[in-house]
Amino acid sequence: MPEYRWPDPLHPGSYTKFPSLFRLLVSAITGVGLALSFTWLYFPLYAWVSISLLLMMIFGATPRVAFFCGYFHTVAFVLASVSWIAEVLAVHGGMSRLAGWGVLLLIAAVLGILTAVFTWTVHRVSRRSILLACVAAPFVWVAMEFTRAHMPEISFPWNLLGYSAAANSAFLQSTTLTGIYGLSFLMMAFNSLLAWADAAKTVSVQKRATIVGASSAIILIIAFLGPRFLPQSHPSHLARAVQPNFPEVDSYSPDWFEVHKLDLDELEELSLQPTPRRVPAAARRR
């Protein structure tokens, strides 16, 4: 059995000593970490670093391991970030929970192929130059996301990388020109920078740390100070949401609107000018 040693961060060439099983496990963990930027534990920082760890796992790996690093990353990401799909299919789609999770696993398997192509492509470029691979990675990633969002019949534009930073109004300004893909490109570029800083062999540690530190400072300044310079809009209207208690059915009869006309009129009136004395008939049936 080959003898592996733990990589030394001061010697970037040591990442080639990662065992394959370790690479695959860390890649899956990075998928779960990325999902944390979209789930109940919302913390966008994960999205700024998770893909860099994935890139570190594919540098120095075999092409097959690099392919499956991307595959397991996305399978873990999908199962962790959109697990609600299985529940929706079970509750509203008439499926068993096992079948709902089976469909979600199929979705994850298809999307995993796209990310696997990304990691395989970047790995191929890295065999020529780590720097060139890190420069190419944002372009390949955005191409993968665009393909994922525009596949015929099975397009899946959920949780693109840029969406994790969409809550910050300063970062969101870039989408007016580039759409969400521009924000994904920016975040992927920073991930690539971190991966380059770890893997660069000919650049001093001090220089790499300076570049990463300066880039991080710029991003933090934009994130925390940028929104202060944006014009603030003040609402002039108030909207109210009224949820009726109509039963959920598979189909509606042609005269459904006529039968429930009074209920719908009362709901409209309640949403415009609610009063405590008037309760719609649909609400009274609760």
pLDDT by residue (tens digit) across 206-216?
999 999 999 99
Is the full-model pTM beyond 0.75? Answer: yes
| Residues sharing a CB contact under 8 Å with residue 136, sequence separation 6 or more, in sequence order | 121, 122, 125
Residue 230 has pLDDT above 90, yes or no: no
pLDDT by residue (tens digit) across 253-278?
888 888 888 888 887 777 666 555 45
pLDDT by residue (tens digit) across 131-166?
999 999 999 999 999 999 998 878 889 899 999 998
The band of 6, judged by pLDDT with boundaries at 50, 70 and 90, is very low
Burial of 70 (0-12, 13-18, 19+ CB in 10 A): buried
DSSP helix, strand, coil percent of the chain (3-state; round to 5): 65, 0, 35
For position 5, what pLDDT does the model report?
43
Q: Which two tokens stand for residue 229?
A: 């310079």
Taking all residues of the chain, what is their mean pLDDT, rounded to a whole number?
A: 86
pLDDT by residue (tens digit) across 62-118?
999 999 999 999 999 999 999 999 999 988 888 999 999 999 999 999 999 999 999
